[in-house]
Amino acid sequence: MLVFKTSLKLKKFLNSKGVSVGLIPTMGALHTGHLSLVERAFEENDYVVISIYINPTQFNNLSDFKNYPQNQKKDISLLKPFSKKIIVYIPENKEIYPDGIKSNSYDFGSLDQHMEGKFRDNHFNGVATVVEALFKNTTPNKAYFGEKDFQQFKIIKSLVEQKRINTKLILCPIVREKNGLALSSRNKHLNSSQKKLASSIHFTLKKIKRIYDQYDVNELEKIFIDKIEDSKQLKVEYFCIASENDLIPIKNIVNNKNFRVFVAVYVGQTRLIDNIKLY
C-alpha cells in the first residue's frame, strides 16, 4: 500500500506505471460499503486510489463538520488486506483549495434544487468542487460511488458532462447491515438501540415500494412519516418521490417511468438518508 499527500507525487507515480486507475472519493470513516467499492474497482482497474478528505465546503453545519467521524489509522488498516496496488490519497486543504477554502459555483439545473439541495444550502457546490479537484489530481479512468447518495451521483455525472472530464462513473448498490440499515459513516454516532430503530427506514421504504401503485404521493408520504415517527426518537426531514432523470419531485406516479423515493430521517441527533427505486 502506498500513501500520497500531494497530487504531484501521485500523478508522477501513476504516469510512470502507465496503468488504469479507479478512484473512490471518501471522507474517511471507512466501512463495508466503501470496501465493496474497492472490490469492484479492483475488478476493473490496475490500481485503485482511495481519497480521504473531509470536505469543509459541503457541510452547512459547523458542528456536523467538526464531529464527523475520522480515524485514518483505522481506515488504512481496513485497506491493508487488499492488493499492494492500492493507493491512499490524503490531500491537505491546499491540494483541493489552492486559492483558499471556498467552493466553486455550478449550474446543475433541477438536480440540486430538491431533497439534499433544499435542506443543505450550497452542499452540492461543495461536493462538486472537491470531486472536480480529485479528478484533476488523480486523473482516474473510472470513479466509484454508492447508490445511497444517488442525488450526489447525478450531480457528479452532470459535472463530468459539463467539464468534459474523461472519467467513467460507476454506480454501485447500497450495502446494508443485516437489519437493512444503509451503511454510513454517520452510523458510528448511533447506539445499538438507535440502530435497531433506524432499521425501520429501509423496512418502510420497502413497504412503500410494494404499495406505491395503490396510493397517491401525499398518502404515501403520510404512511411513511406515521410509521417512522411512531418512535419519538425518529423524525422525518423529508419524503420525496422524484424522477431519476431530473430529480424533480412528482405529484402523481406514472407507470413505466423511473421513479425513486428519497428520504432523510433524524435518529436522535444523527441525520441519515436512504432511497429506493420504485419501478
| Catalytic-role residue among 34, 114, 123, 202 | 34
Q: Residue 34 catalytic? A: yes
Taking each continuous run of H as one helix and of E as one strand, the counts in the chain are 10, 9
Count of C-beta atoms within a 10 Å radius of residue 197: 22
- H or E segment at 110? none
- Reading the block at residue 58, the C-alpha cell is 459541503
Q: How far does the chain reach from its first CA to its final CA, in angstroms?
A: 41
Dihedral sign computed on CA atoms, order 170, 270, 249, 211: positive
Residue pair 272/119 in contact by the 8 Å Cβ criterion: no
150 neighbors 276 (Cβ within 8 angstroms)? no
Question: Is there a contact between 72 and 45 (Cβ–Cβ < 8 Å)?
Answer: no
Q: Which of 102, 96, 87, 109 is nearest to 42 (CA)?
A: 87
Q: Locate cell 430521517: which residue?
A: 265
Strand 259-267 to 270-277 pairing: antiparallel
Catalytic residues: 34
